[in-house]
Amino acid sequence: MKLLVQPDDGIKPLLAAINKAKKNIRILIFRFDRFEIQKALVAAVERGVTVQALIAYTNRGEEKNLRKLEMQLLERGITVSRTANDLVRYHGKMMIVDDKELYLFAYNYTHMDIDLSRSFGVAIRTASTVKEAIELFEADSHRVAFK
């Protein structure tokens, strides 16, 4: 396990994870304004990596931005799903690379959270934890109960 501390570590660990992906990337998004991450995800698709984005249904007044992001990602070959609206919010921020590494963030994919705030994330390679995170992502993507 590796601790990622913001703003010290910045965006580099996220970009490195996306850039090293060989097979697939699953990314759960609550807030997003980092073009560099979007560009890296598109580049991953262009090199044959399957990219799935699960985007929050709502995030307090920014639904318009979320829907715009969905369309931008879809246009660039990224599979997009939207969380259900059965809960007040789906607040998770995570990324799973090649079914082997889970990046779990307390921060959003935003300039304010990554560059201007103290926050943290963890990179986890424990197979059982990664497997469970994949199961959660898939359940939320398909809007079925998570067990």
State the average pLDDT over residues 12-28. Answer: 98
- Beta partners for 97? 25, 101
Please give the Cα distance from 101 to 41 (Å, whole number). 16
Residue 140, SS3 per DSSP: helix
Q: Cα angle at 26 between 22 and 27, to 5 degrees? A: 125
For the cut 80, the answer to whether the pLDDT of residue 145 exceeds it is yes
Average pLDDT, the chain: 94
| Spans of all domains in the chain | 2-141
State the average pLDDT over residues 56-72. Answer: 84
For the cut 90, the answer to whether the pLDDT of residue 85 exceeds it is no
From residue 145, alpha-carbon distances to 19, 71, 111, 130 in Å are 32, 26, 33, 18
Which CATH fold would you assign to the domain 2-141? Endonuclease; Chain A (3.30.870)
Tokens representing 16 are 């490195």
In the chain, the largest separation of any two C-alpha atoms, in whole Å, equals 37
Q: What's the pLDDT score for residue 141?
A: 94
Q: Which residue has the higher pLDDT, 144 or 27?
A: 27
Residue 19 CB coordination number (10 Å): 13
Q: What percent of the chain has pLDDT over 90?
A: 81
For the cut 80, the answer to whether the pLDDT of residue 86 exceeds it is yes
Give Cα 141 distance to the centre of its chain.
12
Q: What's the pLDDT score for residue 59?
A: 77
